[in-house]
Structure 1
């Protein structure tokens, strides 16, 4: 893996540099292949995007981890000061999403004239493009979409893109993914995606499954506000598994792993152990308390014991740090102390939590809610190396199916650990964990009783796209509260 990261990184930089060099006409005529691409090979462009996604979003320990109720700062306490708009932190992630989609767009345009020859790499690029759009709108709600990435003269020189409403973006993304799903169902291309595919190594069936699983995720998210679209999407997928296969085993998890040697360490390991900041992060009190109360065997995987042999969480935004940092449970070795590690973009257990909820909504998904729930739990436990006997005991005990959506959501919350952004999405949609709370000593005082509803727009938008961002900010309070996500129908939060 290290050699692939290194070789592709060097190759991408070299080809980019060569493309910028001036040459005389005779040299160009003699040394130009009229059938060859003059830019970076598509697989290298894909590699750059996947690597950048992992590094940009996989490095989040607190932030989304705190919003979701998993992780709190215990050395430098979190008082929500980081939610003021900047071009760093969340602004960097905004920029990374648009950068990645700019790169994918360039790759698609570069290969357009030979689309058939690059059919597979183009499919993967388009899937990831829509994943990036979903990340953007789920993070910020209304974002530039229809006018985005159109700064070139031939596309209108649009440098100040309008913001599209989330309720318009979602159907567009789902339509794009359906088109891709149908295209893949009719057959793949003959091209090798190449070494740039750090996730599935060119396995197009797994990419096809990720495409349909992403459709499931987005459909269930809007089930409370666009039930017809949600139902038709989910039933189309589950009604024809041969045409629309989904991720259903841990061997198919959409995980980006790392070489595990300098400088290509997994981001959490790099932050905690290489950067020597492991003791800045403790487990949240609500997470540890829930796992202990449920006798959940995943506790020993997501958390390490404190110095007295007990599992102990800490309050979010406490008035002061614990007198002994080691008296609080740090993040479990499986998730932080592995230089290879993984950044999860989709866990296969999610498929079955989604199907369990869909069945509870009365959708025809080909299995009962109970069967789907138990399948999801077993996949999550397996992914955490929990033995069968312990899983059986959990499902017969505190984790037993009780015919409620809340049982699905609570267990899904546990299962999503490290996929923190998605866990924050789950919380904003369902209110689970119901024990979640914002920083106790927030700089906003008592003005808000909930975790952030959204991310702050970057400062550059206030500088260079002020009219459009101000329109998008209608109803927004203190940058991240006020108007909720389109799909967030909770009441009593502010």
Structure 2
């Protein structure tokens, strides 16, 4: 990790106009960062956050969660299909810490409260992702630069406690600015998620807070305090259809500078000349996802996946190596509407399902929505995003919220519907919710010959860069098993 501690600015070199062709140019040398301003640093860091959520770093979760299968036209990806996962296999650690450093540099480069508050909120967003991937991580010493070259690890539970406090402080900072006699400088267009609308940032922060609290629902010792914390800010509201957390810095259908298309398109779509992007070649529809998203009146399947003939999805189980007779389906037009589409950070649908669980479980005590209404809103938002809004009412008739069901039955319904709504783009969150709740409880394991996992993956190992550059702290975590080592909040 220490090789990245000298990163001082955002990852992007931006110009004053979003029409310039170098708008999305990546800074390739973290040890010689470009001179920037808070405005440019903010746009760059937000763009990078969207890249991480929608990029190729989470595609393994899309496979393990039943959304995608490895392409039957390629040599088998043994690590993915037989769970032979090593520290060299996946590295989500590096991009997350790089971006945390970018947000830290942004916060220190300005005294403007709105810029600082956004930096803090997105730092919290990134640290939650780190803990959810790796459990114990460097936090206290993580951004001290050359003063601490071998940062110690903090317990994942302690990091969660710390970032909740930072989130509350950021909320207060925004509210204080809104009441100030002299209005703080608005981030304006440099805020490529909300355009400087700080009320929407309050909703984003509050939704993130609810997510962090519910993620710890299995930690009984924290429940009372977490419920009180959520209730304290519930009046701020949460992300809804009018405040989606979508990033768009001015995506272009251009392959310049590594690709300037929206990250999901750059991951699963086509190049500017119609060529196939890498992961569109390497992944195809998973038969589990195709079945789930076409059952019981669900019409989202043909939007999540491409179709042939009479709206037919051709899919394979994870681990199958024999190509199907018909060309396999890929990620569909509901998720890939345009190379310039906005990138999802947190969708309204995810937010509504968080609210449904929050109300059901007593975290949200005063809401304009009942758990059933939030559930319905989550389903409807998903259908609407995929372009089949007219079918949502019928689907809800066939798949209603179990109002009279037990708490466990209601949670299963919420998480199962959230899994459907998170299809492909939200694979990491689906993986998190699966590990927390056990739902969906019928996701099949890989059928690849020789694969013999005792259960689904529980976490990925620390990356090789840590064993090379920060060996003491990472060695202190002991042997990591991808089947038995768990994140502190996992079931």
What TM-score, normalized by structure 1, do the two folds share? Answer: 0.83
Residues 336, 385 of structure 1: CA spacing in aligned structure 2 closer, same or farther, 3 A cutoff? closer
Matched, 1:419 2:411: no
* 1:365-376 correspondence to structure 2 within 5 Å: 365-366=366-367, 367-376=369-378
For 2:474 and 2:396, the matched residues in 1 are separated by: 48
For 2:370 and 2:311, the matched residues in 1 are separated by: 40
Residues 255, 473 of structure 1: CA spacing in aligned structure 2 closer, same or farther, 3 A cutoff? farther
For 1:416 and 1:482, the matched residues in 2 are separated by: 25
Match of residue 269 from structure 1: 265
Instruction: Report the alpha carbon displacement of residue 467 of structure 1 after superposing the two structures with TM.
Output: 2.0
For 1:18 and 1:304, the matched residues in 2 are separated by: 43
Is the 2:319–2:446 Cα contact (8 Å) retained in structure 1?
Answer: yes
* 1:473-484 correspondence to structure 2 within 5 Å: 473-474=478-479, 476-477=480-481, 480-484=482-486
For 1:337 and 1:248, the matched residues in 2 are separated by: 21
Match of residue 132 from structure 1: 126
Match of residue 388 from structure 2: 386
Match of residue 26 from structure 1: none
Unaligned runs of 5+ residues in structure 2 are 1-13
Match of residue 357 from structure 2: 357
* 1:24-173 correspondence to structure 2 within 5 Å: 39-60=35-56, 62-74=59-71, 75-76=73-74, 77-81=76-80, 83-86=85-88, 90-91=90-91, 93-111=92-110, 115=111, 118-152=112-146, 157-173=147-163
For 2:33 and 2:284, the matched residues in 1 are separated by: 47
For 2:315 and 2:264, the matched residues in 1 are separated by: 19
Q: How many residues matched?
A: 445
Matched, 1:459 2:464: yes
Residues 227, 5 of structure 1: CA spacing in aligned structure 2 closer, same or farther, 3 A cutoff? farther
Q: Once the two structures are superposed, what CA deviation does each residue of 1:69-119 show, in whole Å capped at 9, x if it has no partner?
A: 211112334433573222xx732x3111111111222222222xxx1xx22
Is the 2:286–2:315 Cα contact (8 Å) retained in structure 1?
Answer: yes
Instruction: Report the alpha carbon displacement of residue 45 of structure 1 after superposing the two structures with TM.
Output: 1.1
Instruction: Report the alpha carbon displacement of residue 44 of structure 1 after superposing the two structures with TM.
Output: 0.9
For 2:228 and 2:139, the matched residues in 1 are separated by: 24
Instruction: Report the alpha carbon displacement of residue 435 of structure 1 after superposing the two structures with TM.
Output: 1.6
Matched, 1:343 2:343: yes
Match of residue 191 from structure 1: 185
Is the 1:5–1:259 Cα contact (8 Å) retained in structure 2?
Answer: no
Match of residue 225 from structure 2: 229
Instruction: Report the alpha carbon displacement of residue 146 of structure 1 after superposing the two structures with TM.
Output: 0.8
Unaligned runs of 5+ residues in structure 1 are 21-38, 490-494
Match of 1:295 among 287, 294, 297: 297
| RMSD of equivalent CA atoms | 2.8
Match of 1:213 among 207, 212, 220: 207
Residues 350, 175 of structure 1: CA spacing in aligned structure 2 closer, same or farther, 3 A cutoff? same
Residues 376, 57 of structure 1: CA spacing in aligned structure 2 closer, same or farther, 3 A cutoff? closer
For 2:33 and 2:168, the matched residues in 1 are separated by: 36
Residues 159, 304 of structure 1: CA spacing in aligned structure 2 closer, same or farther, 3 A cutoff? same
Mean CA deviation greater in 457-466 or 188-197 = 188-197
Match of residue 6 from structure 2: none
Mean CA deviation greater in 189-198 or 160-169 = 189-198
Match of residue 329 from structure 2: 329
For 1:279 and 1:297, the matched residues in 2 are separated by: 25
* 1:274-289 correspondence to structure 2 within 5 Å: 274=271, 276=276, 277=278, 278-289=280-291
Instruction: Report the alpha carbon displacement of residue 213 of structure 1 after superposing the two structures with TM.
Output: 0.7
Is the 1:72–1:78 Cα contact (8 Å) retained in structure 2?
Answer: no
Structure with higher helix content: 1
Is the 1:97–1:136 Cα contact (8 Å) retained in structure 2?
Answer: yes
Residues 56, 269 of structure 1: CA spacing in aligned structure 2 closer, same or farther, 3 A cutoff? same
Q: Once the two structures are superposed, what CA deviation does each residue of 1:239-259 show, in whole Å capped at 9, x if it has no partner?
A: xx2xx232121x311112352
For 1:356 and 1:261, the matched residues in 2 are separated by: 37
Match of residue 172 from structure 2: 182
